[in-house]
Structure 1
Amino acid sequence: MKIVKIEDLHANGGYSRHSFLKITTDEGIVGWSQYPDHGDARAGVTGVIRGFAERLTGLDPREVGRISMTLHSSTFHAMGGLNHLAIAAIENALLDIQGKALGVPVYALFGGPFRRDIDLYWTHCGSFRVARADFYEKELGLPPIRTLDDLSCLAREAVELGFKAVKTNPVILERGRLSMFNGGWRLEPGKLFTDRNPERAFINGIVEQLEAFRAGLGPDAGLMIDLAFNQRTEGFRRIAKALEPLDLTWLEIESKDPQSLAFIRSTTSTPIASLETLYGQREFLPFFQNYAVDVAIIDANYNGVWQAARIAALADAHELNVAPHNPLPGLASLQSAHFCASIPNFRIMEYRWDEAPWVADFLTHPIIVEKGRLILSDRPGWGSDIDEAVLAAHPAI
């Protein structure tokens, strides 16, 4: 079996572009993957994939590990970033081919499944509806999120749907209206991201937001908040301490310094989750060795499911559970779910619930979610292909 064609396809996902890789073989088997396309087609992940395409043509797609490691070795001068994301997209499409060639689901390639019902949490719950109010209210016709009471109502909806937990981002009540503050870009109104010195009002606002969620969730459902790179060590410590009475499932934060993260974890009873922005075993290892997190966030779409499974095994050796970073709906969620099914140390999977309804139609076999669990099929590969006609009907923005 040989690779004969490599294509990238794109569609409008509502307020973002959804990108897919299609690899065709000389035996007619097609492998698909979905990937985050940071940047445009000329200079982003898609451009890097196109650059790798020449090296892939004529290779046996079933040699997933060999191809992945060969591509990684060719990028030692610029590891991580766009190169890593592009290789992950290729790796995941090759896994789809390998599974289809053998007639088995991808999770079976890793000795799985450990489970086929994957526990989910509703991610960006409320926060994206606040940040993109026009889309959710005008395009999708969903109720507005204007007040803390609205957040409580949304939390009750999550429990009724069967979700085991919800995760949100900082949504602060200001001048009688809620506003979302992106933890990866800025701290609060009027402040540069480089400042990252939290004012008491900002910390109090996060506490009030999570109290509203807890009122709607009740005592049993899990609750998380993601601050990303919103703070430095001092700010993260202060916020973690302020959130202790809420008994969070975890506080999700990002730091490139394992000692700093370990220090934050050691000074609070609030569980710490992190590491979604890391690539490969070498980057994860010092964080595991320093016991810097309670839960390791691994992205199977940033790393590739084969690479992610190797990282998860390393986490397991350090007695750590894994929860995948899964920022994309659709096929990417199936890729993450197969990763979850393949590892023994799985905690819970991130899932974007309130997305544009046509995104589900991109898949030939839509994802099944029942009572807060994603139900994996035993169909070969990812269990679904991409409907190119539906993609064409929703051209990328």
Structure 2
Amino acid sequence: MKITGIETFVVSNGFTPPRPWHFCAIRTDAGLTGYSEFGSDGITRGLVGLVQDLGQRLIGKDPTAVEKHYVDLYRAVRQAPYGATQQAIAGLELALWDLAGKALGVPVYKLMGGPHRERQWVYWSHLATYRANNWKLFGVKPLRSLQDLADAAREAPARGYTAFKTNIIWPGDPARAISQGRLGPHDQVATRDIVKQAVTQIGAMREAVGPDVGICLDINVNFKPNEAIRVGRALEPYDLFWLEIDNQDPHALAQLKSSVRAPICSGEQLQTVRQYRPYFELHAMDVVKVDVQWQGFSAAKKVADLAETYELNIAPHNYNG
């Protein structure tokens, strides 16, 4: 079986602002096709171009030699590693794993050593956040008031979730949220208005769901560490399950971790053990975010194995849900 072609597909999901989904298909002369989802929004043309360019290196190759192809692709981009480049490699590698599983007639998890568990604890991610701009798309009521936020929180336990994650949201017409690291006028400063709204919102959600439902707050890359400390300390009465933040400086993240009571979750923007290791060595996070789609199965598994040696749990991440 040999690889004969690489195709990419960009699909609109109807979100406002636009947030396209990217898919890759690797075709073979045996009639089998491996599929994957890759990348994130904002750099669609660049990502698709990278997948197409790197994918040409796979033409004529055996798709089941997944690890070899991953290493070869990584070596090909040593001068521009990580970021979109790694996301493109991941898109190809994930499609190769899909092909390998189909060729052998087994699910990919069996190629990775088999399952560790039959059931997986999950939380509701970005609860209420996407309703700020896309409530019509989801067929739910808009977030016009604090009561609407509280009602949204109640939906989590009602649907069987024991934890949920949200962002700082201002209800209104229209509602708005600080989410996904998007640019804003606050310039990574936790203004009085932001801290006040975080306290008001999380307080209302905690009152709505009671003490036994975990509440995670994701502040992405929206605050400098000293500003994130202000947010974290202000929310201490509400017993966050974790405070999630991304930061490119492991020392800065370690400072935050030592300054707030809530466990710190981080790492979704990191790729491969080379980027995670400095954070692990400083014990800069309590929960490790690992995005398989952004770095690939092989790299993600190595990160998870390394996290185990530092007594850290991981929380899988998928940017596209």
Scaled by the length of structure 2, the TM-score of the pair is 0.94
Assess if the C-alpha contact under 8 Å between 1:228 and 1:254 holds in 2. Answer: yes
Verify the 8 A CA contact 2:149 2:171 in the aligned structure 1. Answer: no
Which of 141, 147, 150 pairs up with 1:143? 141
* Distance in 2 of aligned mates of 1:319 and 1:223: 23
Confirm or deny: 8 A CA contact 2:21 2:41 kept in the other structure. no
2:238 alignment counterpart: 246
- Offset of 1:178 from its aligned partner? 4.2
Aligned match of 2:30: 27
Question: Contact conserved, 1:152 with 1:216, CA < 8 A, in 2?
Answer: yes
- The one-letter code matched in structure 1 to 2:181 is G
Report the CA distance between 1:249 and its aligned residue: 0.9
Higher relative contact order (CA 8 A, sep 6+): 1
Structure 1 residue identity aligned to 2:71: M
1:215 maps to 2:212? no
Contact 2:131 2:138 in 1 (8 A): no
Q: Does 1:2 align with 2:2?
A: yes
Shift of 1:26: 1.6
Mapped partners of 1:34, 1:274: distance in 2? 22
> Partner amino acid for 1:169?
N
Structure 1 vs Structure 2 CA RMSD: 1.7
Partner of 2:311: 319
Q: Say whether the 8 Å CA contact 1:271–1:294 is kept in structure 2.
A: yes
- The answer as to whether partners of 1:5 and 1:24 remain within 8 angstroms in 2 is yes
CA contact (8 A) 1:154 1:216 kept: no
How big is each residue's C-alpha offset from its partner over 1:305-330, in whole Å with a ceiling of 9 and x where there is no partner?
1210111101111100000121213x
Match of 1:88 among 87, 90, 108: 90
Structure-2 residue corresponding to 1:390: none
Which residue number in structure 1 is paired with residue 189 of structure 2?
197
Contact kept? 1:262, 1:291, Cα under 8 Å:
yes
Secondary structure at the counterpart of residue 121 of structure 2: strand
- Where 2:215 maps in the other structure, the secondary structure is strand
- Once residues 262 and 139 of structure 2 are traced to their aligned partners in structure 1, the CA distance between those partners, rounded to angstroms, is 36
Q: Secondary structure at the match of 1:77?
A: coil
Distance 2:145 2:52 in 1: 46
Matched, 1:184 2:181: yes
Matches within 5 A, 1:325-336: 325-329=317-321
Change in Cα spacing, 1:140 to 1:39, as seen in structure 2 (3 Å) is: closer
Asked whether the 8 Å contact 2:2–2:59 carries over to 1, the reply is: yes
Structure 2 counterpart of 1:2, one-letter code: K
Q: What SS does the corresponding residue of 2:22 show, helix, strand or coil? A: strand
User: Any idea what the Cα deviations from partners look like across 1:271-298, whole Å, max 9, x if unmatched?
Assistant: 1000110111100000000000000001
What is the Cα deviation at residue 53 of structure 1? Answer: 2.2
Shift of 1:151: 1.1
Whole-Å separation in 2 of the counterparts to 1:167 and 1:110: 29
Tell me the equivalent position of 2:276: 284
Q: Residue deviations 1:16-64, cap 9 Å, x none?
A: 32221111112222111011254465x3211101111221101111111
Structure 1 contact 172–202 (Cα < 8 Å) conserved: no
CA pair 96-34 structure 1, distance change in 2 beyond 3 A: same
Q: How many residues align?
A: 318
TM-score, length-normalised on structure 1? Answer: 0.77
Structure 2 gap ranges (5+)? none
Q: Which residue of 1 aligns with 2:294?
A: 302
8 Å CA contact 1:8–1:19 kept in 2: the answer is yes
Q: Could you list the runs of 5+ residues in structure 1 that have no partner in the other structure?
A: 330-397
Partners of 2:66 and 2:271 in 1: how far apart? 18
Q: For residues 229-268 of structure 1, what are the structure 2 equivalents within 5 Å?
A: 229-268=221-260
Instruction: Give yes or no for contact 2:157–2:209 (8 Å, CA) kept in 1.
Output: yes
- In 2: Cα distance, 1:46 partner to 1:52 partner: 10
